Amino acid sequence: MKLYKTIKKHYQPAVLAAIFSTGSQAQINNGSFEQWQYDRPSNWSIIDSGITTSPVTTPVQAGQTAAAITVNTATQGNTDFRQSIAVVAGQTYDFSTWVYHTEGGVKARLYVDGYRGYSNSQLTAQWQQLNYQYKASTSKNIEVGLRFYDVTGFDGSEVVYVDNYSTGTATTPPPPPPPANCQHNTVNFTLKTDNYASETSWQLANKAGQVIKNGSGYSNNQTITETLCLTDDTYTFTILDSYGDGICCSQGNGRYEFSHNGQILISGGQFTNQDQKQFTLGNDGGNGQDPTGYYATAAGLTGLALKSELHTIIKNHNNQGYGALWSFIDLHERDRYFEKDNSVLDRYSEQPTNTDAINFVAVGDQCGSYRGEGDCYNREHSFPKSWFGGKVEPMNSDVHHIVASDGYVNAKRNSFPFGEVGSASYTSSNGSKVGSASGIGYSGTVFEPIDAFKGDFARIYFYMATRYEHVIASWHNKSSYGSDVLNGTSGLVYETWVINMLKRWHQQDPVDDIERARNQAAYEYQGNRNPYVDHPEFVDLIW
C-alpha cells in the first residue's frame, strides 16, 4: 500500500460556506444521491480536483440512482468527497455507506470528523458497507464523506460507485445494572461487531485458566454490553476472527473494551486472527501504575475526542527546569534491567543481549566536549528542540521525551527524524544508525534506534502529540526536519508515513518494565503521565 504525505487544503470561500452552513441538520442530506445538479450531487462538495461525479441507475444500492465517482489521480489529497452536518453533544451516530469497486485499483476510506476505516478494494462487482460509530463530545458541525486512495493496479482512472450514505441517531445506552449482590469488582464489557460478525468469538479466563465467560454467534454491526462480577485476579481476554482480519477496520469498525470504575482496563479491535490482552483486578498485581481515576474522564471516548481529553488530563505538569534533569537521570536512568550494573541506561549505546561496549557512571553534570562514542553522556531531546523553537519551556525540560544518551551519538542523530535506514552512514556501538531512509514513505536522512527501544520512542512521540496538542500545529514550519514529520494540525499531528511507522514500532516493541518504572518516576517528578505507557490501547483508539 502506498504511503502519502498529507496535503493541507485551502478551501474556497464558497465551499466553506456550503460545508459550514448553519442549516445543516443531524442527518445526511441527499445520502441516496437522488438529487443532481450539473453532474454534481446536491449538498455534496468535491473539495479537490482529482475526482469527478455523475449519476448512474445501475448498480444502485438504494433508491433510483447512485453516485459514480471517477478517480483520476494518484494523489490522495485531491480525492475528497464531503458534506457537513450538525451533531449534538452526548449523542451517538451510526454512520454507514455502501461502495462498489469496479477494478480493484482504488479503495475508499470513510470520513467522519476524521479519517476512519477502509473498504476492501479486492471485493469487486459487489456492494460492501463501511461503518463508523461516532459519539459527539460537543455540539458542532462535522464533515463526513469519503476519500479515495490508489492501490497496486491503479491505471490512472477508475470508477467507484457510492450509495446510501446515512446515519442514525441514538443516545448511548446505559450500562446494564451490576449483578445482584456483587461483592467483588463490577466490570463493564462492550463489544461492537464488524460486517462479518459470524467470524468473531471470544473468551475471558482467570489466572488458573478457567473460562469465566465467552461469546459468539453475533449479528453484523451489533453492540453487546455485559456487566460482570469478577473477583480479584489476573484475567486473560482472547478474541478470535476466523477469517484473519480482526474486527476493525477493513470490514467495519468493531471494537471491544473492558472498564472498571470508569477506567478502561483493555480495549482494541485491530488485529489479524487473534488478539489477547490481560488485566488485573484488586491486589493480584497491577494493570499499569496509574492512580485510580486518573483517566476516568476519558472512559468511553475514541478518536480525537479521546486525544483531546488525555491532553486535558496531562497538560498541567510541574516544570522542574532543564538543570534538574541531571538529578532525574542520576536517580532513574539506570541499568537495572539488562546487565543490572547500575550504569546510566543510554538507549543509543545499550546492548540488551550483549555486554555493553560503553558504560557511563552517573554524575551531576556531563557533556561538554566529545571526540568519540563513550566520552560523555547528555540530555537527549528525542523530539528535537529545534522542532518546537529551541529552549522553549515547558517542552525544553519535559522529562517524558528527554533521555540519557551518548553525546557523540546524539550529535550524529542531530535533528533528523526517527526512521528506518536503508544505507547507513554511521552506526553506533549498539547498532543505532544514521542514513538514508528506506521503505517508509520518506526519502531523507533519518536516525534509527535499535528494535528494543523503538516502541519507547513511538510512545514518547504519541505523548508529545497529546501533551502539546494546543500548540503543536504551530511548530510545523519551525525547522525543515520538523516540517517533514509534523503535518501542521493539532489532531493527527504527524505525517502519514510517521504515524504508520510509529504504530508499527509501538506494536512490535510493547511496553516493558523500563518504561513503566520511568513513567511512574516522571509522574512523581513533574506530576503527569504518558497515557500510552499506561494504556497502550489508546494508540489504536486515536490513530
pLDDT of residue 6: 34
Cell numbers linked to 541: 483508539
- The residue ranges of every structural domain in the chain are 36-168, 185-293, 323-542
Q: In CATH terms, are 36-168 and 185-293 the same topology?
A: no
Q: Whose CA is closest to 243, among 193, 313, 293, 278?
A: 193
Say yes or no to pLDDT of 363 above 80.
no
For Cα atoms 29, 30, 35, give the angle at the middle one, nearest 5 degrees: 140
Q: Supply the pLDDT for residue 204.
A: 93
Q: Flag whether pLDDT at 112 surpasses 80.
A: yes
Q: How many whole angstroms separate alpha carbon 45 and alpha carbon 446? A: 39
Contact present, 443 and 341 (Cβ < 8 Å)? no
The domain 185-293 is classified under which CATH number: 2.40.50, 2.10.260, 2.60.40, 1.20.140?
Answer: 2.60.40
Give yes or no for residue 426 having a pLDDT over 60.
yes
Task: Provide, rounded to the nearest whole percent, the portion of the chain with pLDDT above 90.
Answer: 37
Segment 192-221 mean pLDDT: 88
Is it the case that residue 89 has pLDDT exceeding 90? Answer: no
Tell the residue number behind the cell numbers 476472527, with chain if given.
Answer: 241
- For the stretch 7-54, pLDDT in tens is 333 333 333 333 333 333 457 888 899 998 878 898 898 756 788 999
Number of H helices, E strands in the chain: 10, 27
Q: Which CATH class is domain 36-168?
A: mainly beta
Strands 80-87 and 45-46: antiparallel
Gyration radius of the chain over CA positions: 25
| Single pTM value for the model | 0.53
Q: What is the pLDDT of residue 178?
A: 52
